[in-house]
Amino acid sequence: MRRRRRSASGPRQCARTAGCATPIAAPSTAGSLRAASGAAAARRGSGCPRARRQRRRAGGGGPRRCRGERWRRSVAWCGAIFCGAYIAIDDKSLDGAAQLHQACAQYGPARLVPRGSDASAMLADVCASVFTRRKDRASRMPSATQHSGAEVEDILAEASAVQTIIGHSIAGRQTRGASQRLADIYNPATGEVAARVALGTTQDVADAVAAAQAAFPAWADTPPLRRARILFKFKELLDQHHDDLAALITREHGKVFSDAKGEVTRGIEVVEFACGIPNLLKTDFTDNIGGGIDNWNLRQPLGVVAGITPFNFPVMVPMWMFPVAIACGNTFVLKPSERDPSPSLLIADLLRQAGLPDGVFNVVQGDKEAVDALLAHPDVQALSFVGSTPIAEYIYTEGTKHGKRVQALGGAKNHLVVMPDADLDQAVDALIGAAYGSAGERCMAISVAVAVGDVADKLVPRLAERASSLKIRNGMESDAEMGPLVTAAHKAKVEGYIAKGVEEGATLVTDGRGHTVPGHENGFYVGGTLFDNVKPDMTIYKEEIFGPVLSVVRVHDFAEAVALINAHEFGNGVSCYTSDGGIARAFARQIQIGMVGINVPIPVPMAWHSFGGWKRSLFGDHHAYGEEGVRFYTRYKSVMQRWPDSIAKGAEFTMPVAK
């Protein structure tokens, strides 16, 4: 019997046994066949009745004769493994069928399910293939024709109910929590519901904060070197599961797989930075400042801190926060986006595998109810947020009102200036990648091209040609350049902005509305859209669209370009393409933006620097990660000391001074 390995995707809660905390693992990626065997491995050793029954059945490499209700239960369990949140049984796409085939091939014979095949027959065939790992058992298995379509559809529903609820991670345990509210999680490429997520209640947040509060004293007393060693192990596990995380991102967010891998890499870089915490916490010491007195400083952890993160970077943005926070000795509660929550549970499981004590890192899924509970909870000392400006302002106002330290990173309207002396080929490449990468769902996406002088006459035709020929695909396809938007509602919002631009008089050069992808007609796709002759008073210039829409604004000279950008309410990122060193230097000094690129389209700072904008792109005094992150997650303390043999006799009634 082949030994089964533990799942890469982390445990899930058993939904079939009331009150049972038995983890059920789901496939975390098509590329990781480990995930398919994880459900059984995660259940082994469990004490729940269902797990004991399954162990008895699995004794000979597979269950004994499956007849009647026993067959129904077994097939439902198998269907939960292979056809749950991460591989939809009724997915008509060829890549979904190939994923199913790959997973089944690990155990025994399976045939490639043809595109468009009946979902009921697919489930029965797949389950039969899995259960017949030994050829001598093949004759004892039920065939697809022995069961009616209605019966197997019932099994499908049962399997889906078991598998597709994504819950929380509190005190090292996966849990559904107290909430009865659920939200759908979509595969944006197909437009189908891939899973459901439990929306946390105030009680769920209280449980997570209580777990973090209980873990804080011991974790804060853990030497920084030991904390760093756990982070080093976590970093190794992230490297091993790099593609697993990327596939989860692509499946629930929609960005192309190569872009998702880049997101994971940038998150890992912050973990690498946090591994240097023994050095980062070093402070100043002044010997004998006077009269036998020494003065030295400390940076101490705050306690329980929280992070509220957006859908567009479900791995990277949380890693801007929690690695630095826990390295500094804090405990952490993460509230990820409910649109793509699965990566957060895999991260929690990898931290547990790395040796992080229970309660140091917790995850609560949810919506505004969970957010408000974190803002109001008296034991949460600090809160980090990344998202839109209206929500960032709300988070900052409410958090500070409740006495919390807050860093809230808001929206953006990022410009790229193209000077007449710029290398036009490089500028076009930069604009296409920065405007349409990740379908424009980046807070650092370039959404405005500022064309100086007559450069627009050459720039716009090249942009139009490239925008209209983008390879828009399911993000898991190897040649995809751009994937779908995250939800149907967001697609409608972006298309509404395009209509508004036309209504207000901008020249629509390339229209991305109505774009469809063969085989994924229900996906949330918008094609690359290009506007020319956009004016500063137009809605598409003033507001953050968060979609694949690029606006070209024409200006006469460099001074007008700088004035245009500085007048905008947002101040997140900006770039200038030029061959003139004097222009580059003047631009960097004069522009009122937090992150500046010179011939770099998306100037996201590296992990040992810090990320943050100006104006209404940042609420609070601290930027994210880097040394700014260490300052945010610690309190500064000054200590002055002297010893009895150096203390003069008698009371002193004057201001102490160095003597």
pLDDT tens for 474-510 read 999 999 999 999 999 999 999 999 999 999 999 999 9
Q: Mean of the pLDDT values across residues 261-275? A: 97
Q: For residue 510, what pLDDT is reported?
A: 98
Residue 11 has pLDDT above 60, yes or no: no
pLDDT tens for 570-626 read 999 999 999 999 999 999 999 999 999 999 999 999 999 999 999 999 999 999 999
Closest CA to 350 of 241, 215, 197: 241
Residue 38 has pLDDT above 50, yes or no: no
Q: What percent of the chain has pLDDT over 90?
A: 69
pLDDT tens for 296-318 read 999 999 999 999 999 999 999 99
Q: How far is CA 526 from CA 257, 326, 519, 540, 655, in A?
A: 18, 39, 15, 16, 69
pLDDT tens for 626-656 read 999 999 999 999 999 988 776 667 777 777 6
Q: Where are the alpha helices (DSSP H) in 171-287?
A: 202-221, 224-240, 242-252, 257-274, 277-280
Domains of the chain: 1-163 (no CATH), 196-410+617-638 (3.40.605.10), 414-598 (3.40.309.10)
**CA dist., res. 594 & res. 444, Å (int):** 11
The count of C-alpha atoms lying within 13 angstroms of the C-alpha of 469, restricted to the half-sphere facing its C-beta, is 6
Cβ(350)–Cβ(323) below 8 Å:
no
Q: 481 — phi, psi (to 5°)?
A: -105, -30
DSSP state letters, 379-444: TEEEEEEES-HHHHHHHHHHHHHTT-EEEEE----EEEEE-TTS-HHHHHHHHHHHHHGGGG--TT
**CA dist., res. 355 & res. 351, Å (int):** 7
Q: For residue 292, what pLDDT is reported?
A: 85
**CA dist., res. 483 & res. 250, Å (int):** 9
Annotated catalytic sites, by residue? 443
Closest CA to 472 of 484, 461, 486, 458: 484
pLDDT tens for 77-110 read 334 333 333 333 333 333 444 444 444 443 333 3
Whole-model pTM?
0.76
Q: For residue 156, what pLDDT is reported?
A: 44
Contact partners, residue 652, CB within 8 Å, separation at least 6: none
Residue 115 has pLDDT above 70, yes or no: no
**CA dist., res. 103 & res. 79, Å (int):** 12
